Structure 1
Amino acid sequence: MAGQNFSSARRAASHAAAVFVFLLAVFVGTIGSALAHASLTNAAPADGSVLPAAPSALMLSFSEPVSPLVLKLVNPDRSVVVLDRYALRDTTLDIEVPPGLATGTHVLSWRVISEDGHPVGGSVVFSIGAPSRGAPPVADAVTDWSLRTAIWAARTALYVGLFFGVGGAFFLNWLARPSRHGARFIAGALLLGLIATIPALGLQGLDALGLPLGSIMSGTVWRTGYGTSYGATIVIAAAALLAGLLSLISGLFISRALSLIALAGIGLALAASGHASAAHPQWLTRPAVFVHAIGIGFWAGALVPLGLALAARAPGAEPALRRFSRAIPLLLALMVAAGILLAIVQVETPSALLATAYGRVLLVKLALVAALFALAAYNRWRLTTPAEQGNADATRRLARVIAIETLLVLAVLGTAAVWRFTPPPRALALAAAAPAHIHIHTDKAMADLSITPGHVGPVTASIVIMTGDFGPLDAKEVTLVLSNPEAGIEPIRRPAIKPGDGTWRVDGLTIPVGGRWTARIDILVSDFELVKLEETIDIRP
């Protein structure tokens, strides 16, 4: 009889694995691509600049494509003008300047949404004529900690529903039958997660628009939250949680199918948005998130029902423990491998573990996971075999250790929810490597100058030149002249070469200090005509 049960379980596991692989293949083939956490790389006018007259255009460039949410200009008299006329060109946002800008200090306040679903905001301060006397106008409020706390709580509750609830429903239907210990806890976790999806969507909209908690009832807030990539996560998560609930009240075949679909839904939901799923290469990181989430759900979901069954000495506790202990090594190995891969992609360098908030949160999570693994090893090598053989003392101790594991998993989930507010080191590195860029336009000629990377050290300058009416300009020579009078640096002159791709390039250039540099491009059009284009460019430290 035991052999028949094991054979049935093995066939069921084979079917589950087949469905799992199929869902994973569908996911890899159909999921849309996303890009990294965006950062501002260039602005015109430059931050802190003083212009002789009102600018002809406003421009914001980002490290990755974005979708604008809120654009506004705070005038010297602190009146606010909403900027709703703009054009998006790849990573650059061209904004129409409102008429009649007064002299004094203005603040261009922007808020955009990254493709990973996270909002990014900031301000660019510039002055016309001369800076205003006194403090500059205020554009953005301080961090809203009440909103952040609500976002963290909603996300943690959603994780509890997905990992403890959906994972627990899978354990009950595939490994624990006929035992139903923990079913009430699992149903409660599923309901908690399902309820959490509602405020989570609204809070996402509030954060995206930079609004306080009091604006939660606005329809625009909910539409904005749903329109981000996190909206897809919420929809998939809600479907997975609902399938998990239905699996608790359905017949054996339907309940197993529903719980399997719900388990796959954990991976699909978390891979639909977020820092890790948005990292490149997409074909590798999204499946890694999927596998990592499935492994956590399988492990975490088994803890409460298994611990309760062992504590109650239920008849089916030992067989359930035996099935779980046989299945967990492979899933644990896949989960760890996927986690290591994602950590390497996100952190990039060991120094970022301490140098960035993301890395420090990861260290806390790793410490908790290490404690979990230590307990799991103790369970497996010291308690599991005696408990499977019916040893009462080992069974009681195993139930107590599983309770501690459950608390540690809850701490891991709460820690992971903090990542919502910490851009990963890879995104920070991408922003740091972004070029500094300016556009200079006169009646005689125009030029686009990019200095890559846009910070101190060895750089490469790329120059594209055209006539003032956007026609081709076949120059005989192009020279780049950089100076920084405030730092006591006289002009650095470098001739540009034309490699054949339509651009002019300056190699072997080193910028010694950061700050505002004066960039002049000397264009020798003919033996008798020299056009000089000049503008300031900001170089990051």
Structure 2
Amino acid sequence: MSLRFEERRKRSGSVKAGAIGVPAASVVRRAFVRDHPGRACIQVFLAGILWCCLAAAAMAHASLTGSVPADGAVVDTPPQSLSLSFSEPVSPLVLRLVLPDGQARTLGTFVLRDRVLEIVPPDGLGAGTHVLVWRVVSEDGHPVAGSTVFSIGAPSSAPPVAETAADWPVRIALWLARVALYVGLFFGIGGLFSVRWLIPGGADGLRVIRGVTLLGLAAAVLSLGFQGLDALGVPLSGLMDRTVWQAGLATRFGLTVIVLLAAFCLAVVASFRAAFAGRAASLASLLAGGGALALSGHASSAAPQWLTQPAVFVHAITIAVWIGALLPLACAVRRGGDAGRQALDRFSRLIPACVAALALAGLLLAVVQIQAFGALFSTAYGAVLLVKMALLAVLFSLVALNRWVFTRPAARGDRGATRRLVRSIIVETMIVLAVLAVAAAWRFTPPPRALALAAAQPASIHIHSDKAMAEIALTPGRAGPVRLSAVILSPDFTPLSPKEVTFVLSNPEAGIEPMRRRAALQGDGTWQATDVILPLAGRWRVRIDILVSDFELVRLQETVEIAP
């Protein structure tokens, strides 16, 4: 059911606990097996994080701002063309028209004009209710789906139904792959960079680091397929379909995966080379991994991109350096001696700078995406950010505790302080995993910036009669103060110069009688009225009275959906 990907391409045109020598894995077991209630609390906590993440997984990104015919409209004759307008540029993935008898027709002929998708309908459409089902991918690489309904002649007695509900198995798989990808990037690539450049005494953890790097490599590959499933609305059973992988690769996330695969391969090389080649490969892997995250996602389409994309890069690099150093540091501290003291010294001097850069870049991105303080509490994106900030507050508190309380005694050889430091590092790692799980939920939540952009988009309607035609826009297309504008043309699309234009708005369902607003001719040839307030959302009736001459008045009327 997918469209040709060539057509879409044409458009651009995230330790020691006792005696020295205890393996790192036993350190983790000792830290948690001793305290069963604490382990249960962690399990409940992580389960809560999972629930919160999945609860946000049904949100969209680019928003539909208008359609022709309008959603719910009844037209006299079959439309010659269909169009969908969005809040940001999109690329179509699936377009179908469900006919009154329930049959679905694939729509393969379309033209993209920035944010407007113009579609050629099939010939011979009959009377009754039709459902235009669409699935597009927005600039940030996230697919969006929906449908609009219109009727020819009169609505059908039993209108066809088109399902566009989220496929939860695919969403869960996509989220898990994103978490595993973060683990491979930050613990794997970041860990290898730390072993090769910062904490040579932490090489005891190299086997674990290599394992999570391979985990990230596998997750990157699988996430491409899951992206394709989500893009096309195909269930998990379609994962082996070649078209699904092509769809995932054709989105902007596809470029991210390609660069990430190169980064993970370089990290694997670095894990087997300890000399200059290993250091160079680990550095290149770190830079490629950070750059990959800036190629797609919310920040990739946020303005100004010259600021937000470098901020994402800095944010990813500093996270990888900090988080990646945790396991090597635990291993070096467990080993003790000069290597452990040197590792502690380097880590304690480097981390304040990393945390400062990380916090600055994160604050910048949050300001760009949130825009209004109230959005923290009124949007799913804000809720995810609040949970992440709460976890980071606990994490930064542990960092301060380690830096100012445990580090100096451990560097002097105090075994008690060393054990407490390693345990604290393990707890840090658990919190980091929770942070990554929460951050992966942003894949499914539109930022308030995008919601505000969609809310500011006009609601538009096109009215065509045998005497005149009008393209009317209500900006913004939501309740409150709006600006009405109209372009008036003759039926043959030649200019029409009326003597007077008046807008008449009413909402009979809400008991609102017609409101008349006279329009003024602007320098660009449009007729505008600015003193208009729509007190509530819903379906409004818009009429435009066009005084062509002293003896001829043309009235055009259509309905438009106004958002809250």
The TM-score normalised by the length of structure 1 is 0.90
Paired amino acid for 1:113: V
Matches of 1:390 and 1:263 in 2, distance apart? Answer: 33
1:164 counterpart SS class: helix
The equivalent of 1:426 in structure 2 is 449
Do residues 321 (structure 1) and 344 (structure 2) align? Answer: yes
The equivalent of 1:126 in structure 2 is 150
1:127 counterpart SS class: strand
Which residues in structure 2 correspond to 1:93-132 (within 5 Å)?
93-132=117-156
Do residues 183 (structure 1) and 206 (structure 2) align? Answer: yes
Per-residue deviation, residues 341-398 of structure 1 (Å, max 9, x unmatched): 1112222223222222221111211111111111101001101122223222212211
Give the deviation of 1:179 after TM superposition. 4.5
Give the deviation of 1:165 after TM superposition. 0.4
The answer (yes or no) to whether the contact 1:74–1:80 under 8 Å persists in 2 is yes
**What is the root-mean-square deviation of aligned Cα atoms in Å?**
1.7
The equivalent of 1:445 in structure 2 is 468
Give the deviation of 1:141 after TM superposition. 4.7
The equivalent of 1:201 in structure 2 is 224
The answer (yes or no) to whether the contact 1:446–1:467 under 8 Å persists in 2 is yes
Per-residue deviation, residues 466-519 of structure 1 (Å, max 9, x unmatched): 222222223332221222222222221111112312222111111122222222
Per-residue deviation, residues 272-301 of structure 1 (Å, max 9, x unmatched): 101133211111111111111111101110
Matches of 1:385 and 1:79 in 2, distance apart? Answer: 73
The answer (yes or no) to whether the contact 1:37–1:275 under 8 Å persists in 2 is no
Per-residue deviation, residues 325-351 of structure 1 (Å, max 9, x unmatched): 111111210100111111122222232
Matches of 1:304 and 1:418 in 2, distance apart? Answer: 25
Do residues 71 (structure 1) and 99 (structure 2) align? Answer: no
Do residues 478 (structure 1) and 501 (structure 2) align? Answer: yes
2:325 counterpart SS class: helix
Matches of 2:121 and 2:207 in 1, distance apart? Answer: 60
Moved more, 144-153 or 178-187: 178-187
The equivalent of 2:24 in structure 1 is none
Moved more, 110-119 or 284-293: 284-293
Give the deviation of 1:37 after TM superposition. 3.5
Q: Cα gap change, 1:407/1:219 in structure 2, threshold over 3 Å: closer, same or farther? A: same
Moved more, 42-51 or 208-217: 42-51
1:108 counterpart SS class: strand
The equivalent of 1:230 in structure 2 is 253
1:475 counterpart SS class: coil
Paired amino acid for 2:80: S
The answer (yes or no) to whether the contact 1:517–1:536 under 8 Å persists in 2 is yes
Moved more, 257-266 or 219-228: 257-266
Paired amino acid for 2:252: S
The answer (yes or no) to whether the contact 1:276–1:289 under 8 Å persists in 2 is yes
The answer (yes or no) to whether the contact 1:310–1:396 under 8 Å persists in 2 is no
Moved more, 452-461 or 516-525: 516-525
Paired amino acid for 1:112: V
The equivalent of 2:427 in structure 1 is 404
Moved more, 512-521 or 188-197: 512-521
The TM-score normalised by the length of structure 2 is 0.86
Do residues 287 (structure 1) and 310 (structure 2) align? Answer: yes
1:276 counterpart SS class: helix
The answer (yes or no) to whether the contact 2:177–2:223 under 8 Å persists in 1 is yes
Unmatched tracts of structure 1, length 5 or more: 1-35
1:377 counterpart SS class: helix
Give the deviation of 1:172 after TM superposition. 0.5
Matches of 2:171 and 2:349 in 1, distance apart? Answer: 41
Give the deviation of 1:411 after TM superposition. 1.0
Give the deviation of 1:449 after TM superposition. 0.8
The equivalent of 1:32 in structure 2 is none
Aligned partner of 1:341 among 341, 345, 364: 364
2:272 counterpart SS class: coil
Count matched residues: 505
Which residues in structure 2 correspond to 1:129-168 (within 5 Å)?
129-134=153-158, 136-168=159-191
Q: Cα gap change, 1:51/1:447 in structure 2, threshold over 3 Å: closer, same or farther? A: closer
Moved more, 524-533 or 201-210: 524-533
Matches of 2:550 and 2:102 in 1, distance apart? Answer: 52
More relative contact order, 1 or 2 (CA 8 Å, 6+ apart): 2
The answer (yes or no) to whether the contact 1:456–1:511 under 8 Å persists in 2 is yes
2:203 counterpart SS class: coil
Per-residue deviation, residues 68-107 of structure 1 (Å, max 9, x unmatched): 1100011121111111111211111111122222332221
Aligned partner of 1:55 among 79, 87, 96: 79
Matches of 1:420 and 1:431 in 2, distance apart? Answer: 18
Aligned identity (percent) is 58
1:64 counterpart SS class: coil
The equivalent of 1:27 in structure 2 is none
Moved more, 98-107 or 425-434: 98-107
Matches of 2:335 and 2:302 in 1, distance apart? Answer: 45
Unmatched tracts of structure 2, length 5 or more: 1-59
Give the deviation of 1:251 after TM superposition. 4.4
Matches of 2:300 and 2:62 in 1, distance apart? Answer: 14
Q: Cα gap change, 1:179/1:539 in structure 2, threshold over 3 Å: closer, same or farther? A: closer
Paired amino acid for 2:558: E
The answer (yes or no) to whether the contact 1:266–1:297 under 8 Å persists in 2 is no
1:72 counterpart SS class: strand
Paired amino acid for 1:110: W
Matches of 1:390 and 1:297 in 2, distance apart? Answer: 28
Matches of 1:451 and 1:304 in 2, distance apart? Answer: 57
1:407 counterpart SS class: helix
